[in-house]
């Protein structure tokens, strides 16, 4: 696990535009921050699907020669960070199946907490899965009685976090789970409808933001227009992931009517009110710490300096396993201007501390440059609990705050002091109802019952099955004394 939590996925879809593929590519560019492992686009033209899905960044996957093959005025796109299933091409989304209602493509942001149980049930009935991602179970549910061809009933069977864009030969469908864990917004571009994980994707293609897709809502877009279905009318609790505001969403996006950048500045202001420190300069840890550091500076009147300079041209080739290369990677991303901190009392502001490696390096950088004091401030509470809804820190042993108290973390970072924004202060800074968020990674209050599992569980399960087959051992679901479901009488020889 890397020091910062990894993103989930980015979704983009458009219906009724002659340049659907190109606009989807642009939308995925805007959502690249949500996932950098793979990218995919599926288009529809006269009932036929055309797709390209590969490992890599959007610019690498979609070269000009690829775009000419993606025909049609309807498209769905996906940029992925794997939270269930390995990072490999056959797990890249959107996933396509050819079922009872024809071809369907699905793009998913989030994690289904009961995917393993559903998959086991479906495989016992004969379903054959193409991937090891949780999203595919929804497609199989749509092909199985009693949910056959009934999206509402299929969705009521799954649990956890799911924002979806589904494409059929005649429709584009947007879905948000009843808790609203993951964002999904609706826009218009002239006569075309657009769906996207974040509103920043609308800005790039000059689409007009219409509204957020409501938690528990299904929006169906076809040639007759748009209709809305309330799939979970009795569900009341709302649980938007608060970490969207803290870190994940782009600062130029709006969530639930609130601008992300302004909210992060408000968090920095609240941090200054809760933890005033006598210092000479405020230094953000770029890029995600910038707005909160500015907010702290505005509230405290302590000067703000961009002492760390970010190298924006560092690619994923630097993400290597050895400790030496990892340390090198941390240093090459940010370079410090010593003249701005030498001999000064420095407040370093970051949005979060997960494993602590990067934060410790930054404190060390500042002290090596001659900072007299270094005080580390964090614009959210400490992460103490794993996430089961789509953030890749499922192992509590990797969370610094799950193992140590604040003083121990401060000593590990070698900072002069360490302080976190309170839960109440973080929620207050959003300007929204505090009860409308999921805060499970901070307080352990999980809106949907779950037991965080290894994201490679489905691959592990498959390997165990193959191992039994190679050893000519009976598979777990076969009754004793049977082979391939055929009863063998005592003493009978095999064919």
**So which residues are the catalytic ones?**
9
200, 205, 210, 213 alpha-carbon torsion, rounded to 10° = -60
Specify the 3-state DSSP secondary structure of 473.
coil
Location of structure tokens 């409308």: 436
Location of structure tokens 């769906």: 195
Which residues 6+ apart lie within 8 Å of 293 measured at CB? 268, 282, 283, 284, 285, 304, 349
Q: For 126, left (φ over 0), alpha (ψ -120 to 50), or beta?
A: left
Q: Record the tokens describing residue 140, joined without a space.
A: 């199989």
Cis peptide before 13 (omega within 30 of 0): no
**Whole-angstrom distance, CA of residue 212 vs CA of residue 203:** 15
Which residues 6+ apart lie within 8 Å of 68 measured at CB? none
- Taking CA atoms, 440 is separated from 343, 432, 455, in Å, by 40, 18, 18
Q: What is the largest CA-CA distance in the chain?
A: 89
Q: Record the tokens describing residue 209, joined without a space.
A: 């933001």
- How many CB atoms neighbour CB 68 within 10 A? 8
**Whole-angstrom distance, CA of residue 350 vs CA of residue 293:** 8
Which residues 6+ apart lie within 8 Å of 8 measured at CB? 34, 35, 81, 83, 109, 110, 182, 248, 390, 391
Interior CA angle at 25 toward 23 and 31, to 5°?
Answer: 105
**What's the length of the chain?**
495
- Integer-rounded Cα radius of gyration of the chain: 24
- Which of 348, 335, 369 lies closest to 413 in space, CA to CA? 348
The DSSP bridge pattern shows strands 437-438 and 417-420 to be unpaired
Q: Record the tokens describing residue 291, joined without a space.
A: 């707005």
Interior CA angle at 31 toward 162 and 263, to 5°?
Answer: 85
**Whole-angstrom distance, CA of residue 361 vs CA of residue 2:** 14
User: Residue 475 — φ and ψ, nearest 5°?
Assistant: -75, 155
User: Residue 390 — φ and ψ, nearest 5°?
Assistant: 125, 5
């Amino acid at each position: 696990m890397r020091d910062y939590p990894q993103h989930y996925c980015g979704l983009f879809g458009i219906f009724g535009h002659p340049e659907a593929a190109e606009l989807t590519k642009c939308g995925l560019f805007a959502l690249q921050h949500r996932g950098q492992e793979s990218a995919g686009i599926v288009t529809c033209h006269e009932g036929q699907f055309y797709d390209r899905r590969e490992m890599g960044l959007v610019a690498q996957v979609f070269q000009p020669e690829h775009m000419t093959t993606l025909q049609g005025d309807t498209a769905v796109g996906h940029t992925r960070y794997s939270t269930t299933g390995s990072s490999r091409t056959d797990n890249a989304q959107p996933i396509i199946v050819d079922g009872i209602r024809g071809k369907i493509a699905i793009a998913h942001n989030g994690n289904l907490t009961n995917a393993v149980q559903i998959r086991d049930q479906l495989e016992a009935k004969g379903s054959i899965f193409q991937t090891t991602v949780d999203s595919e179970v929804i497609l199989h549910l749509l092909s199985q009685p009693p949910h056959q061809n009934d999206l509402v009933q299929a969705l009521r069977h799954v649990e956890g976090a799911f924002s979806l864009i589904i494409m059929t030969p005649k429709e584009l469908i947007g879905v948000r789970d009843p808790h609203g864990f993951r964002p999904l917004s609706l826009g218009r571009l002239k006569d075309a409808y657009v769906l996207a994980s974040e509103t920043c994707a609308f800005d790039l293609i000059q689409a007009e933001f219409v509204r957020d897709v409501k938690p528990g809502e299904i929006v169906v877009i076809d040639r007759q227009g748009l209709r809305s279905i309330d799939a979970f009318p009795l569900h009341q609790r709302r649980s938007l992931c608060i970490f969207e505001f803290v870190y994940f969403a782009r600062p130029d996006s709006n969530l639930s009517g609130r601008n992300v950048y302004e909210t992060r500045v408000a968090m920095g202001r609240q941090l200054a009110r809760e933890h005033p420190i006598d210092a000479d300069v405020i230094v953000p840890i770029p890029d995600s710490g910038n707005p909160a550091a500015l907010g702290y500076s505005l509230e405290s009147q302590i000067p703000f300096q961009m002492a760390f300079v970010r190298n924006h041209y560092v690619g994923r080739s630097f993400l290597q396993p050895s400790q030496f290369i990892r340390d090198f990677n941390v240093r090459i991303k940010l370079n410090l201007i010593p003249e701005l901190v030498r001999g000064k009392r420095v407040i370093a502001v970051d949005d979060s501390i997960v494993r602590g490696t990067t934060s410790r390096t930054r404190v060390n950088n500042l002290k090596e440059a001659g900072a007299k004091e270094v005080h580390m401030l964090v614009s959210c509470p400490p992460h103490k609990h794993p996430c089961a809804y789509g953030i890749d820190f499922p192992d509590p042993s990797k969370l610094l705050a799950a193992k140590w108290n604040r003083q121990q973390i401060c000593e590990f970072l070698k900072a002069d002091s360490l302080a976190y924004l309170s839960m109440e202060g973080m929620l207050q800074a959003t300007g929204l109802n505090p009860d409308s968020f999921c805060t499970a990674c901070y307080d352990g209050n999980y809106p949907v019952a779950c037991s965080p599992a290894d994201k490679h569980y489905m691959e592990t399960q498959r390997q165990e099955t193959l191992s039994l087959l190679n050893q000519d051992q009976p598979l777990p679901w076969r009754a004793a004394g049977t082979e391939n479901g055929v009863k063998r009488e005592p003493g009978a020889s095999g064919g």
